[in-house]
A and B are shown apart, each in its own frame.
Chain A
Amino acid sequence: MNRRDFLNKAGASAGLFLLPSGLLRGNTVSPDFIGQNEGMDLVLLKRMADFVLQLAQSGGASYADIRFGKTQREQIVGINRLIAPVKYTESFGVGIRVVVDGSVSFISKANVTTEDELAPLIVQATNTARINSKLRKKQVRMAPQEALGQVAWKTPVTKNVFEIPVAEKQELLMAANDAALSKGVNHVESMLYAQKQYKYFASTDGSYIHQEIHRFWPTFCVASGDLAGGDFQTRSALSSPVGRGYEYLQKTPADKVNGIVTRYKNGYDLLEDITLAAEQVKQKVTAKSVESGQYDLVMDPSALWSIVHHTIGNVLDLDRHADENAAEDGTAYLDLEKWKAGDKAFGSRFVSFLADRTQSGTLGATGYDDEGIKSRQWTLVRDGQLETFLSDRRKNQMIDENRSHGCGAAEDWEYPVQLRMPNISLAPGKAPLTVDQLIGDVKKGIYVVGEGSISLDQQCLNFQSGGQLFYEIEDGQIKGMLKDTSFQSNTRDFWNSCSQVCDRRDFRFGGTIADRKGKPAQSHAVSHGCATSRFNGVQVFNTRTF
């Protein structure tokens, strides 16, 4: 049994059927040391960090870093007209990474507050790294990073979710659930999930970085039909997890995107969305079952972000190209050597991807990554040509670059840093193009809205995905709703089939707060932006008749 199993059980006990569980982990923090709902004592942490770094270097480390972390998590769930037991956790601890004799070790422990407790951890780290070096062919070399001194960053929130009274949040969920049930759905689950992380990073580079990172996810799922064995359908929220506070639940006209389905930009109207979802999910039960075949897909950002995540973010992850996830998730289909030799064709000329850790309100926005690299933006694909990959301080050498891209991230203090994708966005179209204009140009197509489940092969080449809502397009007009719809493609064909991308006015973010990777497995939060886009000739399957 591992920690994740333990916490998944905690989620299961809340009776969740539709929503994800297992988002929580934690320990109780002593208020005398840290302070309830406050940050960390930076003077004390710097003193302990300096102690660790000096001891590591005297033990033979060519590089060392230390991360203290304090994380708060809260999950409030409403199931039909009941509130589930509130779940709240706090976590505090330290993780130490060393490079000794060209090899890496990472040791972590909870609730460490004195040098006496830290000292044996450093000894363990340096000793095990030294033993590891017997099985290294090449020495690990960390990409250079100049000293940053003492710096800080904080997610710009105007309403801290943890300062909103629990009763107020519960009332919101009950109002939302009531709105759905009064429209006749059979079952509804809604959730407000929030996390706040204080991170203190220090390294032998001479950097001391303090960050306060907020994330928030309001979501729901409604089900309608015969749940006891007949036909039933579901519809999930069209919100996105965000790197923001409670202010995300604002209702301003500018944030609403009207159309056959109402969607949201920088503010989310939970009550409106769940009311509309209740109507749409009933329509889905009696909607036309799709005919399998080839269609032009028009993908709303709320559906497309997931494909960006899996077919761009995973494929360009250099850990996969180093076989470091071969036994779990797999590798990647792109041939790095061919790319270096000049084969850079990736997608159609309409396709450009930007990597970023700076865009305000996104999940991937931080001041610095977990290896002490300042966040920035860079281009991954330009007009269909692959320019670079995703690297951290160890993988930069694979693509002959001197510096890390800043993709080092650890879920929390107890995990080692992994290479994790930053926000990755499909650039909006350069020419003016609205969604209505794009749909008007489609002869036989399907308009896809909302995130569906996606399955990829072990090299992120072939994939099959779905969505929340599907509408049949015929001769430029939306004909009606569809159900039982799933589509399949492969990464090369899909991005080469992209023929139109709406302009900046339609650009919106989606994202995930629990993207899992690696051994030990870690979660990661990241956003992906895009505008509604068209993909020609995609194979669609009916999920009920085959």
Chain B
Amino acid sequence: MALLSKDDAVALFQKVSSYSSGGDLQLSLEGGVVSTLKFARNEVVDYTRSEELLINLTLLKNGKSVQVAGRGTDDNSLKNLVNQAEQLVGYSGLTSAPVFFSDKQISETPTWSANTATLTHDRRVAIVSEAISICSDRKMTAAGSLEDRQYFNAVLNTKDIVYYQKSTFSRMALNVRTAQSQGSASVSAAHFDISQIKPDRLADIASQRAQSTTNPRTPETGKFPVILEAGATGDLMLAFFKHFRKMTGNPQLDIRDIIGQVNLHAGISLVSDPADKSFPFVPFTQNGRKLTKTTWIDKGKVLQLPEVELPVSMSGSSQSVDDLMKSTENGILISRLHDLKPLDDQGAVYTGVTRDGAWLIENGKVKYPIKNMRFQFSIVDFFKNLTALGKSEAIDQNIFPSVKGDGFYFTAVTDSY
């Protein structure tokens, strides 16, 4: 059984502790059931269900530490886990001293939904069928996946912390393509309560969007102001965090520290709040760090970076995408960005391509859809020099606004769609 209760987690830790010959221990547990229903060309491809339990044991002994991972909860498996840790700890040095947190107070957040936990397979197929039917009726093809999960997280250590929470998660990803004419669009929605995922709405948005991208024309390359829809802003901001999470200052590594060093546009603020009403999340990391409402970027100042990827909410304004376009004489509206890869670590220069919708803006309005393009730009410079922010909307479990800015250098046009 992979979905352990709190009592199970405590009993497991007690057993592991009893097998230990000394030192400080921390047990991180995560387990549950993951289901994925895949579909393509308006039919189910396959279904996958995996039951998994991860047991990560960290041992601190005589100034050294080691991490071993296992899955078995029987006595032999747990003894084996502890033996492996004690055997290997002698070989292990420290790059930075792991910290076992000791704050025993933790408040649960509402991340469990019975709707998701009790989802039947018939209902799963029915949700996908609803999306497929709409696309099929409109002579388009749907592909994507419906994923649902019920799981638990727990962290226990010899400093007496007992963190435990059960959660559910669901996500539908949908790509819709027109029969001819190169139309394509992708949408997705994620929520811990699967009843909040509306397949008919997703299919309606995606199919209309796919239609709006048909018969794209070949644009000019060069530098253009861009308006990024919320999804594309999200693609960039998550790449920004990932880049600088890697580069964050570390006394032992002496790596570039962005915190306090870079000022982005003053309109940018980003927070994460485990108790968020729409997108709550587990209020601790698997390292045992408590998570409370945290401001990562405040009016453009980078205050700190999340050590793991968390749902974020980015500030916006009341301006719609149409409002942002009104003041744009000549620019490009972009739906999503694909395959962002670093070209230069130091300047956070990235390349990628537009995807699932790009349109030429002329004199404040969309003129026509254009083919996808490759670009090269500095993420930092782009966020520093934004010219406007728009309304925020949900992109999976995050909130991002549309934004307008300069600095995209479009280097090539591609026929891909």
Q: Are A30 and B351 in contact, with the CB atoms below 8 A?
A: no
Contact flags A414-443 to B (C-beta < 8 A → 1, else 0) = 111000000000000000000000000000
Q: Which residues of B are found within 8 Å of A3, using beta-carbon distances?
A: 30, 52, 54
Among A138, A462, A484, point to the contact of B43 (Cβ < 8 A). Answer: A138
Per-residue A-contact encoding for B113-152, CB less than 8 Å = 1, 0 else: 0000000011001001100100000000101110101010
Name the segment of B93-101, B264-272, B361-369 touching the other chain. Answer: B93-101
- In Å, the complex CA distance between A6 and B52 comes to 12
**In contact, B412 and A135 (Cβ under 8 angstroms):** no
Mask of A1-12 contacts with B, CB within 8 angstroms, 1/0: 111011111101
Expressed in whole angstroms, the minimum distance between the Cβ of A69 and any Cβ of chain B is 12
Given contacts A86-B92, A89-B69, A455-B340, contact A461 B415 (CB under 8 A): yes
**Quick one: CB contact mask for B385-417 with A, threshold 8 Å, 1 for yes?**
000000000000000000000000101101111
A80 vs B94: C-alpha distance when bound (angstroms): 12
Contact of A2 among B34, B55, B66, B71 (CB under 8 A): B34
Q: How far is the CA of A300 from the CA of B353 in the complex (A)?
A: 26
Task: Tell me, yes or no, whether A110 is within 8 Å of chain B by CB.
Answer: yes
- Cα distance A167–B338 in the bound complex, in angstroms: 43
Do residues A234 and B339 form an inter-chain contact, with CB atoms below 8 A?
no
- CB of A110 to closest CB in B, whole Å: 5
Binds A, one of B3-11, B156-164, B171-179, B318-326: B171-179
Q: How far is the CA of A344 from the CA of B38 in the complex (A)?
A: 31
CB-CB contacts below 8 Å: A439-466 with B: 453-462, 464, 466
Q: Are A87 and B67 in contact, CB atoms less than 8 angstroms apart?
A: yes
Does the CB pair A1–B49 fall under 8 Å? no
Cα of A138 to Cα of B40 in the assembled complex, Å: 12
- The residue in B282, B345, B372 that gathers the most chain A C-beta atoms within 10 A of its C-beta is B345
User: Considering the complex, which residues of chain A in the window 107-156 have a beta carbon less than 8 Å from any beta carbon of chain B?
Assistant: 107-111, 124, 127-129, 131-138
**A5→B311 CA distance, assembly (Å):** 13
**A135 B43 Cβ-Cβ under 8 A:** yes
A506 within 8 A of B: no
Taken together as a complex, chains A and B put the C-alpha atoms of A89 and B81 apart, in Å, by 9
The 7 closest A-B pairs by CB, nearest first: A27-B71, A28-B70, A459-B416, A462-B414, A326-B143, A455-B341, A327-B144
Q: A13-B98, A131-B122, A461-B416 are in contact. Are A519 and B145 (CB under 8 A)?
A: yes
Q: Within the assembled complex, what's the spacing in Å between the Cα atoms of A383 and B282?
A: 56
- Does B355 belong to the interface (CB within 8 Å)? yes
Q: Is B247 an interface residue (CB 8 A)?
A: yes
Q: Which residues in chain A, 171-189, are within 8 Å of chain B measured between CB atoms?
A: 186-187
> Across the interface, do A15 and B96 meet the contact criterion of CB distance under 8 Å?
yes
B55 interface neighbour in A28, A80, A88, A137, Cβ under 8 Å: A28
Min CB distance A35 to B, Å, is: 11
Cβ of B21 within 8 Å of any chain A Cβ, yes or no, is no
Residues on the A chain within 8 Å of B339, using CB:
455-458
The answer to whether A132 touches B91, judged by C-beta atoms less than 8 angstroms apart, is no
10 pairs from A and B in contact (CB 8 Å cutoff):
A6-B28, A28-B72, A32-B76, A135-B129, A229-B261, A330-B338, A330-B416, A414-B52, A458-B339, A519-B173
Q: How far is the CA of A398 from the CA of B335 in the complex (A)?
A: 32
> Are A462 and B353 neighbours in the complex by a CB distance under 8 Å?
yes
B264 to chain A, nearest CB (A): 16
**Interface presence of A31 (CB below 8 A):** yes
Q: Is the C-beta of B294 less than 8 angstroms from some C-beta in chain A?
A: no
A543-B344 CB under 8 A given contacts A31-B80, A88-B68: yes
Pick the most buried of B247, B339, B347, B349: most chain A CB atoms within 10 A of its CB.
B339
Minimum C-beta distance from B273 to chain A (A) = 17
* B residues 45-61 in Cβ contact with A at 8 Å: 45-56
A residues in contact with B249, CB < 8 Å: 228
Given the complex of chains A and B, what is the CA–CA distance between A136 and B255 in angstroms? 53
Q: Which residues of A contact B68 (CB under 8 A)?
A: 28, 87-89
Q: Is the CB of A107 within 8 A of B376?
A: no
Whether A88 touches B88, Cβ cut-off 8 Å, given contacts A13-B287, A455-B352, is: yes
Asked if A106 CB lies within 8 Å of chain B CBs, one says yes
Residue among B286, B341, B417 with most chain A CB within 10 A: B341
Q: Which residues of B contact A544 (CB under 8 A)?
A: 344, 347, 349
A227 in contact with B80 given A9-B286, A83-B92, A131-B125 (CB within 8 Å):
no
Interface membership of B42, Cβ < 8 A: yes
